[in-house]
Amino acid sequence: MNQHAELLLSGGTLVTPNGSQVADIACRAGRIVAIGELGQWRADQHLNLAGLHVLPGVIDSQVHFRQPGLEHKETIEAGSRGAVLGGVTGFFEMPNTNPLTLSGADLQAKLAIASRSSWCDYAFYIGGSAANCTDMRALEQLPGCAGIKVFMGSSFGDLLTDNDEILRQLVQNGHRRMAVHAEDQARLLQRKQQFVGSHDVQLHPLWRDEQSALLATQKVVRMAEEAGRRLHVLHVSTAAEMELLAQHKRLVSVEVTPHHLTLTAPDCYQQLGTLAQMNPPIREQRHQDALWAAINNGLVDVIGSDHAPHTLREKQQPWPDAPSGMTGVQTLLPIMLDHVHAGRLTLQRLVDLTSAGPARIFGLAGKGRLAVGYDADFSIVDLQARRTISSEWITSLSGWTPYDGRGVTGWPIHTIIRGQAVVLDESLCGQPAGRPIQFLETALQEIPS
C-alpha cells in the first residue's frame, strides 16, 4: 500500500456513528484513503489535532446568499467565507435572488459566480412556480441543482406559490425531494389586517401564527402523500407541525434552525427588536420545547441556518415594514456546539443533523461521513474553547448577528474541504476553490410506489 498522504491529520478525536475515537486520517486526491494508527505514513502536510474533535464536513442546506441582484446584502464570496470560518464545508442556496432562479440559465449564472468565488462546495435550488411547473422533471436533474424550492408564503411575484393547482403540479412533476416554506398566504393576508397601524414587533408571531404554518404544512404533506413525492419541510417552528409530521415520515423530512432552537418570544423581540424578525417567527417557549423534543426523538433530519441577511438600515425599519431574516451560516456550528456543551444534544446527534442527515436525505455523493473513499471534508472543533460571538467577526456584507455578545463553549478551529485547508487556527487561508456538490443517481430517480 502506498503510505504517502498529501494531508495527514493525527491525534484528533473522530466523531462517527459508532461514537468517538482517537485516530489518524490520511487524505490523497481530495479523499480519505486511510483511518487508524498511521504513524508510519509520510505526508506533504501534517496537522496535529490532539485535543480537537473531527466532524464530517458540515453542510448548511438552507442559505440565501443574495447574488445576483442583491449584492448590497450579501454575495456568494462573503457568505461562503463566513461559512468556512464557521466550520461549514458546503451549502445549498435559495432561489429568491434577482433575477429569480427559475431556469437552467439562471442556475448556470449562479454556478459561474460560485466557480470563481465560493470558499466551499455548493448547490443551488431552482424555485418552483407557475412559470416553470411543467419543466420540473428536467430542471431538478441539472448538475449543481439542489432540488426544487417552493414558497407557499413569504415571497412575491413568480416565486410565490399560493395557488393550489400550481402547487399540486409542482408536487406531481418531479422526483427529487422538494423543499417547501410552509405558511398559508391567504391566512397571512387576512390576519395582517388585525395589526394595521401597529409597529410592535412582538406581534410578529401573533400575525404569522401557529395555524398559518400548520394549514400550509397539512396541505402540502397531503399532496405529497397523494403523489408519493418526497418532501422537505423547512424551518419547522411549531409544536402542532411536529405532531403532524411525525405521522408522515415515510416521505417527509424535517428541518429546524438554530434560531428557533435558541431564541424565544417575547424576550428576543424585547432585546433585539426587528433584528429578531424572521419567517416563520421565533415563537414561545412551548414551541421551542417541542422542537428540542423532536431533535431528541429523531423526528428532525437536518439543521439549516436559513442565513438570510439584510442590511442594518433595512432591518431598522419599523415592523412590519422591516424585512424578515437574519444571518446564520457562520454561527450555525458555534451555536449548536454550545447546545452540545449544555447537554441538550450529543455530539453524535449534531453530526447526524449537520453532516450525515443532509447527505442521507438529499443523496450527496461522497459527503457526510468520516470513511475511506469519502471526500476529505472536515469541520475540526475545540469543544472546550470559549468564545464570544460578535458582529465584528461576521463576514456577511450585512455585518451583524443576533448573537452579538453571546458567549459560547465549542468553536470551529480548522476547516478542510477535499483535503485542502481553507481555515487554519481560525484564520482564512488559500483562495476560493469550491466545487458543485454532486448527487447520487438514486437521489435523482423516482422512488418506488
Report the mean per-residue pLDDT for the chain: 96
Number of neighbouring beta carbons within 10 Å of residue 265: 20
The residue extents of the domains of the chain are 4-54+370-401+409-428, 57-369
Cell reading at 262: 435558541
CATH for the 4-54+370-401+409-428 domain, from 3.30.365.10, 2.30.40.10, 1.10.10.10, 3.40.50.2300 = 2.30.40.10
In this structure, what C-alpha cell is assigned to residue 62? 438552507
Cα(72)–Cα(17) distance, rounded to whole angstroms? Answer: 41
Q: What is the mean pLDDT of residues 78-87?
A: 98
pLDDT in tens, 337-354: 999 999 999 999 999 999
Predicted confidence at residue 447, as pLDDT, reads 47
Find the helix or strand (DSSP H, E) in which 412 lies.
strand 407-417
What are the distances in angstroms from CA 89 to CA 58, 112, 145, 150? Answer: 6, 19, 17, 25
**Which residues, at least 6 apart from 324, have a Cβ–Cβ distance to it below 8 Å?**
154, 277, 278, 279, 308
pTM reported for the whole predicted model: 0.96
DSSP string, 310-372: --HHHHTSPTTTSPP-B--TTTHHHHHHHHHHTTSS-HHHHHIIIIIHHHHHHTBTT-S---T
Model pLDDT, residue 448: 42
Domain at 57-369: CATH code: 3.20.20.140
Q: E-assigned strands of 196-269?
A: 231-233, 252-256
Does residue 258 have a cis peptide bond before it, meaning omega lies within 30 degrees of 0?
A: no
Give the 3-state secondary structure of residue 349. helix
Q: Is 36 helix (H, G, I), strand (E, B) or coil?
A: strand
Q: Which residue of the set 24, 121, 306, 377 is catalytic?
A: 306
Host H or E run for residue 115: helix 104-117
Give residue 120's region: left, alpha or beta (phi > 0; psi -120 to 50).
beta
Q: What is the pLDDT of residue 445?
A: 60
Give the pLDDT confidence score for residue 157 in this predicted structure.
Answer: 73
Q: What is the per-residue pLDDT across 99-154, written as a single tens digit (0 to 9) for each?
A: 999 999 999 999 999 999 999 999 999 999 999 999 999 999 999 999 999 999 87
pLDDT digits (tens, 9 = 90+) for 376-420: 999 999 999 999 999 999 999 999 999 999 999 999 999 999 999
CA 223/CA 228 separation, integer angstroms: 8
How much of the chain, in percent, has pLDDT values that exceed 90?
Answer: 94
| Residue percentage of the chain with pLDDT more than 70 | 98
Would you place residue 161 in the very low, low, confident or very high pLDDT band (cuts 50, 70, 90)? confident
Catalytic residue status for 306: yes
- pLDDT tens for 47-73 read 999 999 999 999 999 999 999 999 999
Candidates 364, 257, 243; CA nearest to 307 is 257
Model pLDDT, residue 444: 61
What are the residues whose beta carbons fall under 8 Å from the beta carbon of 275, sequence distance 6 or more? 315, 326, 400, 402
The separation between the first and the last C-alpha atoms of the chain, rounded to the nearest angstrom, is 45
Q: Are 416 and 376 in contact (CB under 8 A)?
A: yes
Answer whether residue 446 shows pLDDT above 80. Answer: no
- Using CA atoms in the order 256, 290, 183, 71, what is the torsion angle rounded to 10 degrees? -30
* pLDDT value of position 390: 98
Label residue 162 by pLDDT band (50, 70, 90). Answer: confident
